Structure formats: C-alpha cells, structure tokens
Structure 1
Amino acid sequence: MSAPAMYYNVEVVQFWRGQKEYLRPYPLHWVIYIPTGPGIGNMYHIIGNTNTYTMEFRRNQPHVNPDDWRGSFTIGRVAAHKLALFESHLASVPITRHDPRWNSQNWVWDCIRHLRHQRFEISWQFRQCDLQTKMCCLLEDWDFGRI
C-alpha cells in the first residue's frame, strides 16, 4: 500500500512597502507562498520596478520582512511531488514591464489563472475582485489588531 500524498497549502501573502508620502501608501506587495515547515516556506514573487521586474523563488526560508506581513489567504493546495512542476508553471507566467499600472498583484493573479487552467488545486471560488477585497480586509484586520 502506498503512502498518501503530502500536500502543502498555497497562499497569497501581502507585505507593506511603505508610503510615497503621508496617506499615500505604495501598493502592497503580493507573493505566492507555500508553507513547508514551522516558520519557513517557499516564496514566489517578482522583484524590481516596472522597468526591471524579474521573478524570485525562495525555497524553505522564513519571510524576508516578517514585520511587513499584512495577511495571508489560502487559495488552494499542491502535492509535494508536484512542487517542481508548480514552479515551472510559475516561471512561465509572463512579466509585463514598462507599464506603471502593472505590479506584483497583477503577476500573482496571472499566476492563479494559469495554475487553475493547468489543473492545479487552486480554488475557483473567488474572482480577482474577490481576492482584492479579501486582501484589503486582511490589511484592515491587521490595522485593527485582529490578525
């Protein structure tokens, strides 16, 4: 009898990036995060600016700036034996450069759409507007000390 497959949760996590000036915050930085152990996980995100965006994958590491964490939302799960395939699909998601309206939040949403179409276990129970609302509510929960 074979052992049951091990699964990891897949989360969207957001981080505070500061403010341009008082009451004008930068957009929160979104990442795809897979907790792999106590206090560590795999983080997939884009870094840079609109002219230089590139992907960064960090495996089995703690959050880079845990004090900037502003909430996590579980969007699905991935089997441990499919992590390499999961990563190769993330690496295939295009990055848009030279468009000031495009950022890490767009890339994460594009990844979610791609993973769904590749039949990974990413929930179809939310739309982009639902995810944006959920992440905004998490920020408010953080502001009020609820999380």
Structure 2
Amino acid sequence: VDVKVDPKDLRIDTFRAKGAGGQHVNTTDSAVRLVHVPTGLVVECQQERSQMKNKEIALRVLRARLYQQIIEKEKCQQQSVRKLQVGTRAQSERIRTYNFTQDRVTDHRIAYEVRNIKEFLCGEKYLDQLIQRLLQSADEETINEFLDENLKSAK
C-alpha cells in the first residue's frame, strides 16, 4: 500500500552524518531528516553516502510509519465500535430473560412479556408477536434517528 505524502507537508533538513567515515563525513551534508508537519513524525537517515539515496530511504520509512498509524487508528475505531456493541455484559444490559420457573419470557428492550414459555419456544403465535414488536421498535428507532439527524443539519 502506497501512502501519498504531499511534499508541502514535509520539512527536509540536511546535516552531517555522525560516526565513522573519515574526512568525507566531515565535509558533506549527506544525512537527511524528514519531518511530517501534520503528524509530527520525524525520520532520519544517514546510511548512504548520497543525500538523494538517504532522502529516498527516509521517505520509504516515513510512508511505512504513516501507514502503520492509519492501521492503528482503524483498529482502535473497530475495537471501540465492538466494545459499544458488546457492552459491559451487566445485568442491566440484558436483552431477553427466559424464566422457566415462572413460565415467563421477557424482552427487556421493548418491555414485552409472554406467560407461556413452551408455546414461545415452539415458535407459535407468541414468537411471531415478539418478532413483529421488535421490527416495529427498530422502525421507530430508525425514524427517530433520521429525524434527529435532519434537525441537527437544519440548525
């Protein structure tokens, strides 16, 4: 995957390389430092004797790090969405309770209660009623979300 880096977003610094290399190191500015201004990422390269080669290597490293940042951000968003879907698994977040001792099924989302659990589990009329109520509730929720979005955009 190739990440596009706008040259306007880069600050390029050149400096003398550090370390062994004799007199050549002391006379040429072959090391390169790239700073990606929007993200603040800094990449330095002084592997080669040529400034151009060092710049190419630094650009490759910068693109790789930017790509890694993008992947981390997407992964974080996916985890937060999943966490919202799963919830905390607390008792208050229950969806449906099957209480065999009281011969009762309760759907806590729509406050629907059935007093004949055997018929419900066999898929008779009570299950059909629950499905219809759930569909109706989902439609109402969708309409409310749509209206809320339109009210926000109208302001």
TM-score, normalized by the shorter chain, greater than 0.5: no
TM-score range, shorter chain: under 0.3
More strand, by proportion: 1
The structure that is helix-richer by fraction is 2
| Structure number with bigger Rg | 2
What's the TM-score once normalised by structure 1's chain length?
A: 0.27
